[in-house]
């Protein structure tokens, strides 16, 4: 009988588990193989990030231990020592080397880890590790903070699988990936190839999500290739990995703190991909655009305005803009001329997914970014986050 896997436990060689006690959760995932990782570029990054940025250079992972509720960020020498101790706890309960145990933390900045709690939870979770849908769900729930739902992704290709879980809802404007993400594949991939593929996938997915414009201190993405499925074509693997990362990115955008709508911005016709990305992320970050989306106000001028201050050179008179997709797509501007039907435009903003498409005439490169609307609930969540 085939089990109904949603993510990581669909990959052969992966076992997982997790638990949550109030705000404090802990997850364990065990899988041995080639490892790669990407991390936040924030100058004030958590000690655990500094520790793992060094250890993952070895290109080998055998498991990860993850806690939620305390970021262990801006905690100095004690924070670094605590991160090492957490790695030791994970290694002990999983029966692996400390150097091959990934560690990640998420939660409140400026507070020290409760290592006694982590040790107790780790021991309990280790006894529940399993290769099952229930196990991957438990791990995904354990790492959540302000998330309202688990985030799973899976891509099955002929001969191999790529799957992942992540958490992320607020403090999302990553300069690498998302808050925390754990991706697994049964493909056999050399360390350098895996690292290169991961960087490329993140660039076009998790690095294009903006919820609120704040880059986390703890962003970490670990990827492990168990090799159970043997060698696979590099191009096919890279595409599958990117697809998984895009799925996780879109789930983060849809679950932004207080969000009622996911916002998607597509930009076409740029000289360089990074130019299209810059415009898309600038629009997605704009509080005015996000507020208009929340109110279903077809104030499309805010989109044009944001594109204009993105820093990308383009001919204003050649810009075209539309809202919606498929039959609901409505042209707002065509080659610099206003053609907006505001009644149709407002109708295209109904529902939980709003799409803007910008077309420039500078080249043939494109990019898409994802975000969400800005609501009163976002202020409420973050005004009371530590209390």
Catalytic positions, written as ranges: 178
Whole-angstrom distance, CA of residue 354 vs CA of residue 83? 41
Q: Do β-strands 353-359 and 262-270 pair in parallel, antiparallel, or remain unpaired? A: parallel
Task: Please spell the DSSP secondary structure of 271-304, one letter per residue.
Answer: SSHHHHHHHHHHHHH-HHHHHHHHTT---THHHH
Any idea which residue has 């060698």 for tokens? 231
Query: Encoding tokens for residue 111?
Result: 């507070």
Q: At what angle do helices 47-55 and 76-94 cross, to 10 degrees?
A: 50
Q: How far is CA 321 from the centre of its chain?
A: 27
Task: Please spell the DSSP secondary structure of 101-136, one letter per residue.
Answer: EEEEEEEETT----HHHHHHHHHHHHTT-BSSHHHH
Any idea which residue has 């006894």 for tokens? 127
């Amino acid at each position: 009988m085939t089990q109904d896997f949603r993510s990581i436990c669909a990959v052969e060689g992966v076992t997982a588990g997790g638990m949550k006690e109030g705000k404090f959760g802990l997850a364990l995932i065990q899988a041995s193989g080639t490892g790669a990782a990407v991390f936040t570029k924030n100058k004030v990054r958590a000690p655990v990030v500094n520790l793992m940025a060094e250890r993952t250079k070895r290109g080998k992972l055998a498991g990860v231990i993850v806690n939620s509720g305390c970021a262990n960020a801006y905690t100095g020498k004690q924070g670094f020592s605590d991160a090492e101790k957490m790695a030791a706890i994970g290694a002990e309960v999983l029966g692996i080397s400390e150097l091959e145990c990934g560690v990640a933390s998420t939660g409140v900045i400026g507070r020290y880890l409760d290592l006694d709690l982590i040790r107790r939870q780790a021991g309990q979770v280790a006894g529940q590790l399993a290769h099952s849908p229930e196990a991957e769900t438990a791990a995904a729930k354990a790492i959540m903070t302000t998330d309202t739902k688990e985030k799973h992704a899976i891509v099955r290709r002929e001969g191999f699988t790529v799957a992942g879980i992540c958490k992320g809802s607020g403090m999302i404007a990553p300069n690498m990936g998302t808050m925390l993400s754990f991706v697994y594949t049964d493909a056999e991939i050399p360390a350098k190839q895996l690292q290169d593929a991961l960087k490329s996938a993140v660039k076009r997915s998790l690095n294009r999500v903006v919820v609120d414009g704040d880059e986390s201190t703890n962003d970490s993405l670990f990827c492990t290739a168990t090799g159970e499925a043997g060698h696979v074509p590099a191009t096919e693997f890279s595409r599958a990995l990117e697809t998984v990362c895009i799925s996780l990115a879109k789930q983060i955008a849809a679950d932004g703190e207080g969000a009622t709508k996911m916002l998607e911005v597509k930009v076409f016709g740029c000289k360089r991909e990074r130019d299209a990305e810059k415009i898309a992320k600038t629009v997605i970050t704009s509080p005015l655009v996000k507020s208009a989306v929340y109110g279903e106000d077809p104030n499309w001028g805010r989109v044009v305005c944001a594109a204009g201050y993105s820093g990308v050179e383009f001919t204003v008179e050649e810009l075209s803009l539309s809202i919606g997709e498929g039959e609901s797509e409505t042209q707002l501007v065509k080659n610099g001329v206003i053609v907006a039907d505001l009644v149709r435009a407002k109708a295209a903003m109904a529902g939980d997914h709003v799409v803007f498409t910008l077309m420039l005439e500078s080249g043939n490169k494109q990019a898409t970014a994802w975000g969400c609307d800005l609501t009163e609930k976002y202020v409420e969540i973050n005004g009371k986050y530590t209390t």
